[in-house]
Amino acid sequence: MKTKIFDVKDLNKHNIEQSAVYDDAEANEKVEAALEKIDEAAQIIIDGGLVAFPTETVYGLGANALVPEAVAKIFSAKGRPADNPLIVHIARASNIGELTPALTPEIIRVIDNFWPGPLTIVLQKKASVPDITTGGLKTVAIRMPDDPAALELIKKAGCPVAAPSANVSGRPSPTKGEHVIEDMDGKIDAILIGNDCRIGIESTVLDLTGDIPTILRPGIITAENIEAAIGKKVEMDPTLNHRKNSFSDSEDEKNLAPKSPGMKYKHYAPKAEMIIIEGQRDKVKSEIERLKALNEKLGLKVGIILFEEKAFIEAAHEFFARLRDLDDEGVNLILAGALSESDGVGFAVMNRMLKSAGYHIAKV
């Protein structure tokens, strides 16, 4: 399949609605050209095809969420297990009624506070949402992304757009257009290339189907942020604190089966072996140096991921891109310094780091 590559970077710099009134004719032309590309991409979605597009979190791989044949193409392009449900993206909060039967005041408050933005909410699904989209669950995950190209694409497609991250299943999520080309060129109909993703890790997933709002996947929007908005305690899914892969046949593990099926699969894995070094900062640094020297003596190529101690936002922004860069450099071993998990964003980045390393941790 020939994949069309559409540059829509100019949309990020301009307010689409106001583009017609800009004095700068050249800027207007660029915006108009990008909007035409979006028209073409939206038509692909309408026709049942696949389009990758930028969002503020990571790039998404989109199809019409209500058409099972279209959604099936996402699973095969990514090599994604069929029981791993997709997030459905909408461009107007008012479109949520197509997907879920009832909105409580609490749900409305969450939406008012965090949309558009990096928060996905899990709600009861309407029968019109196909089983393939939700991996057979009776619930549906919904988000309104905060990116002009994404919003314009979804509006023009005129349907909710199911979109997991636009990587081959198991690989680090794509945060730059080139990552999507690397994984999806030749497998999908089109790729919209925007600017690099502002946030760099996937959305927080918040389950609002029970009495207690529960975070199933940590992200930039933390439990404290949500508690402040709704005035109610938010819990973390217990499996998030597990220091090993929660996909296991043992009875104990089955009892703690994750509510979010995607959490159990191998994720974000670089080609290299990866070890997280955890402990007091100075010790972590010297252990990384020691292991690096040792492994290099054995002829291995070693890469290091060590973020500034409290630079959690930067770590989120850089982490997936660093993994891909180190793979491109052909390193055999990645040594990464652990981040503090007492910070909500640090916890979210560590969640990805632990999976990337297959929960391989060395304490010092």
Candidate residues 8, 205, 226, 288; the one interacting with ligand AMP per rule CB under 6 A = 205
Nearer CB in complex with Mg ion: 19/165: 165
Which of the listed partners (Mg ion, ligand AMP, none) does 44 bind, with a CB threshold of 5 to 8 Å by partner kind? none
Binding at 87: pick from Mg ion, ligand AMP, none (beta carbon under 5-8 Å per type)? ligand AMP
CB of 341 to ligand AMP, least distance (A): 19
Distances (CA, A) of 41 to 20, 156, 322: 21, 9, 29
Burial level of 329, CB count in 10 A (0-12/13-18/19+)? exposed
Which of 166, 200, 173 is closest to 315 using CA atoms?
Answer: 200
Stretch that binds ligand AMP, among 17-25, 26-34, 42-50, 139-147 (CB under 6 A): 139-147
CB of 135 to ligand AMP, least distance (A): 7
| Residue whose pair of structure tokens reads 């070094």 in the numeric block | 277
Q: Which is nearer to Mg ion, 270 or 337 (CB)?
A: 270
For residue 177, the surrounding DSSP H or E stretch is: helix 177-184
The DSSP secondary structure of 47-95, one letter per residue, reads: TT--EEE--SSS-EEEEETT-HHHHHHHHHHHT--TTS--EEE-SSGGG
Q: Which residue has the tokens 């459905």?
A: 88
Cβ-based nearer residue to ligand AMP, 165 or 295: 165
The Cα 190–Cα 193 span in angstroms is 10
Q: Does 141 bind ligand AMP (CB under 6 A)?
A: yes
Structure tokens belonging to residue 272: 């290299």
Show the site string, 91-130: x = touches ligand AMP by CB under 6 A, - = not.
-------------------------------x--------
Asked if 242 is part of the footprint of ligand AMP (rule: CB under 6 A), the reply reads no
Which among 72, 77, 292, 88 is positioned nearest to 191, based on CA atoms? 77
Return the residues of window 261-300 that contact ligand AMP according to CB under 6 A.
Answer: 261-263
Binding residues for ligand AMP (CB under 6 A):
84-87, 122, 134, 137, 139-141, 164-165, 202, 205, 216-217, 259-263
